[in-house]
Structure 1
């Protein structure tokens, strides 16, 4: 989470150009020159322009306009877009200069294709641009990633929006999101419980509720729990009912029980129990009773092992009414 491309508290983006001369013409600057003082680019250098330099510039797609800043820099006009670009004289003579204006327009077009608004260049990391996402938040991304987003190979995730979602997840369970994991594990965050205790928790566990506060939390045996019945229809056509107990049956269903997608699942009944120990005792008694009354309804593990994360406690759907009656009788007690 500390990758420079994903950090929002950064200096303001850098503009690709400055204004020079009385006519206030735009002068586009190469990537490595944007940190130099703008005042220096306003100075014209009075040295001569050799004829061979003009010829070299034309052969490479530019007109050499004049010298600027010092003996090492010149201003070139691009034959393609007509914009002015500052370049080192050495680069003009020994390599193919790039038009900073054409490059900038390409970034603008790519950002628009990706559904973003390009706002400038990151002043600290030359491969990063600063963009405004559709949600309105600023994001910093590598130019190559913007190309992949524009091509549909990946999607943009706004860190600000994502952090807000994580904060809501934590608040729903009585915790406050404080920030990234101090130990650097990207799967963990640091949270503060309502009791004031701070704790590292995996985000997946915060979503599922499969953890407790190590300062004030109750163990499963003494914490409130529930008996539950869940109907499951596998893509294989197998229709079954799962009988069990859990502190959070919804979490059990959506985050732990199902191994693959495509399973139709419905929580049929939830019966609150005062403690996990009481829930366990009653669950075991129910399984003993069902094993005695309907042994043929027990579904062998090999019939669902690729789909569910349990090995037992799965029954044919035909005894669902009996299981629900047992649970209703417990609720009435």
Structure 2
């Protein structure tokens, strides 16, 4: 009663779960503990279907269509299709605020060529590595990252990417891999603060070979994507030939 939800039945396979009908009419399953917390005012019993419908409406309002979950299942992202037909993963908040550009037909950095780079920079006590993306890695290194990068920086490698969006997706995936598989190589911010103008994504020099292997994978994937995009599309034998324009 306190949540305006209706308890239908306990879950037959898990004694901690209960099946509910939410005030909006949709059905869901929740832990008893979450139901209790909601009844006490700790949080709302949100509806997944209503939430996704809100995301669909936000997308429609700016010429996009919600496709579904992001390809890497990241919670704060969804996959959207632009009116031109191009699909890409976008942060939900950016769709809500209309702060996005199509990587297929747009004119911003998202749709323009970019590069994944790997820099070596000398701190006062040791060398470190920075992985990132930029349309101009040398400008990024020598003009934007501060005195340590300007005086000691070196571009170890740069990979061409077709779009800024593709570069951003690949870079974020690489950083996630580093944090998950090798947190010991992540340099804490306080150890480079004041020397490199960035908040994170600085790694110990010992990560060099692993980062290069990640870049190998990114480069191979980008090459495969480019080859697939250039493959000729065979006409569907069941479809009539299109009318000439």
The bucket for the TM-score relative to the shorter chain is 0.3 to 0.5
TM-score normalized by structure 2? 0.45
